[in-house]
């Protein structure tokens, strides 16, 4: 904590037990921190004085707007920050033991803001497509036409589009009819495709009503579409339409597509069936209230917008594919927005669709996909600061409670407000909240890194929707990490995913947590964007101080560590697996027919398995903690095969024998051709030139 920063603490009308002297000592300040009682009311003058001294840190988020307004009016030139210590620490059953946690939160708030990340831009001019049943779509079009550039696609079902609704008397916006086929894209760039199946083309129709008057079955209403269930094929309407030519019963169903900025889908089922549809696409269904709320959002989606580019991708180490052979699909399978798709041997991410959940980075075994909001290095610095300050202030058994910046933050505030300080409720003194953009972005590198820094436990607080989208993927990563720490003798439950939006459930769960064993000496290394490197540092540190040291830890399928097994009886040392390995875990013997393996590099992507033509390779997940993991291990080697002509080695005996067995009876290799399989490349050419009876292109008759 810098000396020129003013810290303003208030016990909120004496409802918190704050120790200014102990906090100053924990933060290494020269003088005790003054504890105010009514800083936002009677003692507001003390805040004005603090503004003149330099940067100011206010431990109150409830009145942050008031303090910010006062600072602006006072012309304060220094930075003003706020941190919540009331609901997160001061209001709790263990409020008198919360000094270490409050010190940690104050130290965290003092950290400089991380550098901004790159952004992704959107532009929306308000071109809106409303798609759905005519009676509903046209009503919303009339309400929104003065605010947005509206178009309507009416789709009441095959053969009866427009039934039950009249088109407007004034043609103030385009109206099409047909079956909605697909919607793709994002805010400002939606591609909508539909199929016009009805005989009347609403774009051509002049709404003269001649067809309505002429139809003997009354199969046409003022929606100007034909109900084919009533139509008896008299075709009087075609004659009445005349040269206008809007009615054509012979028309083959016509595919149409247009581009829009916004889409309001009023169908019973959404056209985009993603857990997180793209921004600008609203599908409220048939509920009138939901439709009204969606319509209210549309006017706010006009203009130019920016959001962070949440990810970084390194194609060089991606294990998705090699030579059209499938490898790792974890990021594609996990993404709930459809932002990630295959792109040759790698993947591509559409930044406009990415919502920043970070699940792709969590499940990526190689670290090719990383989450940058926040960056892993920034998050690591926050963890080191929190845990270091907590420990320096005398705290033990710290539990880091990660939560998102939306619903989960409000949930914890509710928990704090219902607490009775010193009596019941609130967060336990050892549970330290840390806000992130998305808890799904917290992979094993962060989790094991936090444990290496001295955390006793890590809890990820997710909403029900987040748990449904990413819960299985996150829990799988947590199981891998828990397996490792448990095998090393760190007793207790260290990792927990808590999915709830109920304050009573949150209170019950956090107080039921029993402290787990922590590492004896906290680590000093920094977390970095190099996922494999961070994992290696964290695991090695935990293993170094392990209560029960291990050389090998068995892991379940899908873990990002392990070895490969090679069937030496079928492996021909063709080295296809070496060429496919994206992590350089498999290497050849250079001048010798030999297959080697470096276990620390293996990410268990399975590319070697899918590439091997002999099906000789299998995966065996485990974590090897001995120096052998970094050394080259010989998986298979063969006797060199020497050229039968010059005697130089050019392959291995097993491979040549395999070829001889498969090709020996082939007519193409009759005569001297079979022997050439046993020659090196140079000798084959020489032998062909020396053989006068060799068939050549000039000897081929037409």
How far is residue 192 from each of residues 160, 185, 254, 350, 389, measured CA to CA in Å?
A: 21, 9, 14, 18, 54
Residues 613 and 539 grouped into a single domain: no
For the stretch 52-100, pLDDT in tens is 777 889 999 999 999 999 988 888 877 889 999 999 999 999 999 999 9
Residues 409 and 353 grouped into a single domain: no
Please count the CA atoms within 13 angstroms of the CA of 577 that sit on its side-chain side: 32
Looking at residue 698, what is its pLDDT? 55
Helix axes of 464-487 and 531-544: crossing angle, nearest 10 degrees: 50
Place of tokens 């270091």: 388
- Does a structural domain hold residue 575? yes
Residues 411 and 439 grouped into a single domain: yes
- Taking residues 446-472, what's their average pLDDT? 95
Looking at residue 199, what is its pLDDT? 85
- Does a structural domain hold residue 257? yes
Question: What is residue 203's three-state secondary structure?
Answer: coil
Between strands 552-554 and 617-624, the pairing is antiparallel
Q: Which of 526, 550, 574 is the last residue of a domain?
A: 550
CATH of the domain at 327: 3.30.70.20
Q: Which of 343, 371, 399 is the last residue of a domain?
A: 371
- Does a structural domain hold residue 435? yes
Environment class of 460 (CB within 10 Å of its CB; exposed 0-12, middle 13-18, buried 19+): buried
- Does a structural domain hold residue 178? yes
- Does a structural domain hold residue 237? no
Residue 676 lies in domain: 640-699
Residues 443 and 299 grouped into a single domain: no
Helix axes of 531-544 and 376-392: crossing angle, nearest 10 degrees: 30
Residue 159's pLDDT band, with cuts at 50, 70 and 90, is very low
Residue 592's pLDDT band, with cuts at 50, 70 and 90, is confident
Q: Which residue from 448, 459, 469, 468 is spatially nearest to 559, judged by alpha carbons?
A: 448
The C-alpha angle 502, 505, 509, rounded to 5 degrees, equals: 140
Residues 381 and 524 grouped into a single domain: yes
- Does a structural domain hold residue 263? yes
Residues 573 and 669 grouped into a single domain: no
Residues 407 and 515 grouped into a single domain: yes
Residues 596 and 452 grouped into a single domain: no
- Does a structural domain hold residue 326? yes
CATH of the domain at 538: 3.40.50
- Does a structural domain hold residue 403? yes
Q: Is the per-residue pLDDT at 563 higher than 90?
A: yes
CATH of the domain at 580: 3.30.70.3270
Looking at residue 702, what is its pLDDT? 47
Question: What is residue 695's three-state secondary structure?
Answer: coil
Q: Which of 637, 652, 673 is the last residue of a domain?
A: 637
For the stretch 313-347, pLDDT in tens is 999 999 999 988 999 999 999 999 999 999 999 99
**Number of structural domains found in the chain:** 6
Q: Which residue from 178, 125, 122, 185 is spatially nearest to 155, judged by alpha carbons?
A: 178
CATH of the domain at 131: 3.50.50.60
Residues 295 and 428 grouped into a single domain: no
For the stretch 658-702, pLDDT in tens is 778 777 777 667 666 778 888 888 898 888 888 766 655 555 554
Residues 356 and 451 grouped into a single domain: no
Residues 362 and 506 grouped into a single domain: no
Residues 545 and 690 grouped into a single domain: no
């Amino acid at each position: 904590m810098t000396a020129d920063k003013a810290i303003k603490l208030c016990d909120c009308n004496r409802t918190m037990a704050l120790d200014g002297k102990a906090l100053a000592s924990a933060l290494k300040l020269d003088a005790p921190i003054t504890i105010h009682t009514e800083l936002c009311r009677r003692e507001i003058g003390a805040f004005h004085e603090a503004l003149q001294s330099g940067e100011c840190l206010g431990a109150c988020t409830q009145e942050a707007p008031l303090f910010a307004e006062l600072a602006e009016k006072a012309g304060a030139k220094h930075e003003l920050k706020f941190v919540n210590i009331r609901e997160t620490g001061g209001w709790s059953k263990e409020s008198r033991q919360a000094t270490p946690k409050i010190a940690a939160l104050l130290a965290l708030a003092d950290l400089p803001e991380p550098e901004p990340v790159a952004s992704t831009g959107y532009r929306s001019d308000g071109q809106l497509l409303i798609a759905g049943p005519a009676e509903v779509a046209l009503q919303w079009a009339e309400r929104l036409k003065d605010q947005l550039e509206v178009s309507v696609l009416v789709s009441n079902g095959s053969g009866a589009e427009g039934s039950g609704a009249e088109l407007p008397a004034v043609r103030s916006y385009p109206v099409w009819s047909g079956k909605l086929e697909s919607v793709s894209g994002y805010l400002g760039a939606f591609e909508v495709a539909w199929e016009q199946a009805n005989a009347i083309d609403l774009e051509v129709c002049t709404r003269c009503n001649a067809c309505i008057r002429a139809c003997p079955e009354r199969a046409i209403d003022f929606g100007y579409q034909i109900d084919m269930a009533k139509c008896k094929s008299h075709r009087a309407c075609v004659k009445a339409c005349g040269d206008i030519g809007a009615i054509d019963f012979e028309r083959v169903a016509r595919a149409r597509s247009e581009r829009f900025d916004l889409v309001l889908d009023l169908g019973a089922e959404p056209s985009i069936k993603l857990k997180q549809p793209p921004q600008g696409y609203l599908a409220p269904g048939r509920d009138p209230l939901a439709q009204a709320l969606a319509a209210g959002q549309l006017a706010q989606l006009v203009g130019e917008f920016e959001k962070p580019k949440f990810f970084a991708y390194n194609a060089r180490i991606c294990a998705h594919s090699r030579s059209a052979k499938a490898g790792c699909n974890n990021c594609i399978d996990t993404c709930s927005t459809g932002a990630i798709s295959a792109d040759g041997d790698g993947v591509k991410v559409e930044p406009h669709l990415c919502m920043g959940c970070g699940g792709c980075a969590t499940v990526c075994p190689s670290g090719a996909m990383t989450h940058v909001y926040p960056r892993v290095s920034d998050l690591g610095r926050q963890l080191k600061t929190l845990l270091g300050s907590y420990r320096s202030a005398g705290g033990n058994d710290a539990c880091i409670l990660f939560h998102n910046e939306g619903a989960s933050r409000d949930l914890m505030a509710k928990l704090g407000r219902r607490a009775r300080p010193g009596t019941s409720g609130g967060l336990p003194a050892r549970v330290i909240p840390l806000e992130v953009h998305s808890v799904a972005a917290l992979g094993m590198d962060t989790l094991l890194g936090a444990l290496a820094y001295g955390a006793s436990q890590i809890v990820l607080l997710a909403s029900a929707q987040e748990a449904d989208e990413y819960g299985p993927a996150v829990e799988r990563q947590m199981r891998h990490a828990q397996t490792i720490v448990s095998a090393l003798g760190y007793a207790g439950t260290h990792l927990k995913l808590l999915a709830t939006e109920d304050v009573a459930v949150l209170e019950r769960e956090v107080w039921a947590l029993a402290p787990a064993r922590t590492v004896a000496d906290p680590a000093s290394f920094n977390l970095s964007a190099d996922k494999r490197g961070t994992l290696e540092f964290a695991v090695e540190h935990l293993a170094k101080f392990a209560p029960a040291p291990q050389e090998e830890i068995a892991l379940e399928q899908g873990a990002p560590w392990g070895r490969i097994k090679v069937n030496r009886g079928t492996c021909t040392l063709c080295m296809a697996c070496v060429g496919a390995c994206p992590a350089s875990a498999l290497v050849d013997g250079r001048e010798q027919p030999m297959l080697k393996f470096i276990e620390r590099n293996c990410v268990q992507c399975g590319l070697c398995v899918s590439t091997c033509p002999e099906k000789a390779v299998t995966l065996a997940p485990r974590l090897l903690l001995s120096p052998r993991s970094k050394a080259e291990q010989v998986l298979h080697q063969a006797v060199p095969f020497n050229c039968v002509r010059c005697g130089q080695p050019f392959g291995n005996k097993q491979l040549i024998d395999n070829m001889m067995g498969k090709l020996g009876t082939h007519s193409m290799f009759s005569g001297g051709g079979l022997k050439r399989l046993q020659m090196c490349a140079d000798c084959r050419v020489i032998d062909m030139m020396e053989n006068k009876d060799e068939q050549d292109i000039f000897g081929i008759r037409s």
